[in-house]
A and B are shown apart, each in its own frame.
Chain A
Amino acid sequence: MQDSNSKCQQLEDALDAYYDLELSAEEAEVVERHLADCEACTARLAEIDSVVMQVKSIPEVTLSRDLSGDIEAKILAAQAKSGELTPSPTHILAHTDVSNATAASNVVPFAPVASSKKKYYLVASAAAVIALFFGLAQLKPAPSTVASTSQANPTAIETVPKSLPVIGQTLPTSQIGLKQSPDLSSKLNHTPANATTSIATTSIATTSIATTRPVNAPASTHTAQMLAATGQSGGVKKHEHDINQNQVNDSEELVALYDYENSDNALDLGISTNEDGLYAIKL
């Protein structure tokens, strides 16, 4: 019995090979002689057959389509890529698309949108503070610039429509610093000197804004027009001189200023303050 068990162990994996007809003639004969005397190994052989039959019962899977065309295309593409063949126009096109896509994917935003908004506010605040500083600095030595345009040509305010950027176009920038238009205008009526100061502030602020933007940028169009209307930045001193000569107590001019401040043009520069008095520039 023990001899039989040891023989069974020896032939354990040979039974599979015997079943699969993978044994040599001599090996197969040894197995057959053992099987004639061993019921356990005969049962084991039957189990092998059962398992193999179960495996063979698994339904066949087949390829859903002929892949030879795809394979040929892949081979040709690989050859074209390695320079073996001249790439076809479609290959070139495909390559271009890929490179464009890669280039596009390499483009990253300059800054996150959320933080850029904060930066706008900061820049606006800084610009307004600088404008105020220079405006105050110029307050004592000389009244400022813009109103002089109208003084040089007293009929200008009467004849020029609201939309034209003569005096009116510079005033909105004064609102950048001072914001509230009707009150300011009423103050201007009573204190012309203050009014001219604010206008001066405006012109400087405008200049500084213009330098921070490209000239041809859409948002800066008004600024460029204002500069043109006020004789450009080089003409600032001349305007200041004119303002010194001509008082702003000209009622018609003040009415025009008041009208302009109340017009929509005042917002065109994209500079405003919120209710907390913080300055913002639309870029």
Chain B
Amino acid sequence: MDLSDEALIKKYRVDGDMTVFSTLVKRYQNRVFVIAYRLLNNSEEAEEVVQDTFVKVHQNFDKFRTENIFASWIFRIAHNLCMDILRQRQRKRSTLVVSFDPQSTVAEEEGDRFVNQPLSQVADEQPNPSQSLDMSEQTNMVERSLNELPEAQKIVLVLHDLQGFSYSEIAEIVGANIGTVRSRLHYGRIKLKELLAPYFSSEVNLPATFR
């Protein structure tokens, strides 16, 4: 029988047995990875976030209050680590200049698609909206559109619609109040609908429960 998070935490605090801690790691590592991957869009960095998250969890284990939800605490740490990486990327991007030399063929920098590429060589990778999309293309399009959302909206959408967290849990993870979470989710979905509109039929199948 699997022990609850609270029971494992208590056991680890008493015994200090690393296998108990590893059980918690195994329980949450994949979900942390999914969130980190969705936020960072890079599996290597997401794996690093998973590792760093649990190292931080271990370092601050004494600070965790058992009245809080352990999962939310883990995901908050992971979220903060992801935000750090995104901020670093932002800073890096803000210092880079796009070349205007049409003859330039300087190789693009790692991690930034258009860095040092002349504007004339920055191709529009979006497919023609009139093209019909098969299933895999549709999911790619949704993923790409999701990545175009502002980070704050994207994380709320990922945590709720992909990971199934409640508004209050999301509020705890992202460090915002429930009203903010609700608002971000609302505007995130509107924005996503706008981004996807050119590629999908405007006809929607209303679920039976809403008819």
Contact = CB atoms under 8 A, between A and B. Distances in A.
A17 B55 CA distance: 35
Interface stretch (A69-77, A247-255, A273-281): A69-77
Given A51-B189, A51-B196, A55-B192, A78 B139 contact: no
B46 to A, nearest CB: 8
Interface stretch (A60-68, A224-232, A236-244, A257-265): A60-68
Interface string B21-34: 11001100110011
B206 A16 contact: no
Interface residues of B, number: 44
Contact of A70 (B21, B51, B167, B210): B51
A16 B179 CA distance: 12
Given A16-B185, A58-B146, A72 B18 contact: yes
A62 B143 CA distance: 16
A46 B210 CA distance: 7
Given A58-B142, A68-B26, A42 B182 contact: no
Interface residues of A, number: 38
B5 interface: no
Most buried by B among A15, A16, A62: A16
Contacts of B88: none
A43 B192 CA distance: 16
Nearest to A45: B210
Contact of A46 (B139, B143, B162, B206): B206
Contact of B34 (A12, A17, A61, A75): A61
A20 B160 contact: yes
B161 A66 contact: no
A16 to B, nearest CB: 4
Given A12-B186, A55-B192, A64-B43, 20 more contacts: A20-B185, A22-B167, A43-B204, A45-B206, A49-B206, A52-B189, A55-B142, A55-B162, A58-B139, A59-B139, A60-B34, A61-B34, A62-B33, A63-B29, A67-B29, A68-B22, A68-B25, A71-B22, A71-B25, A78-B59
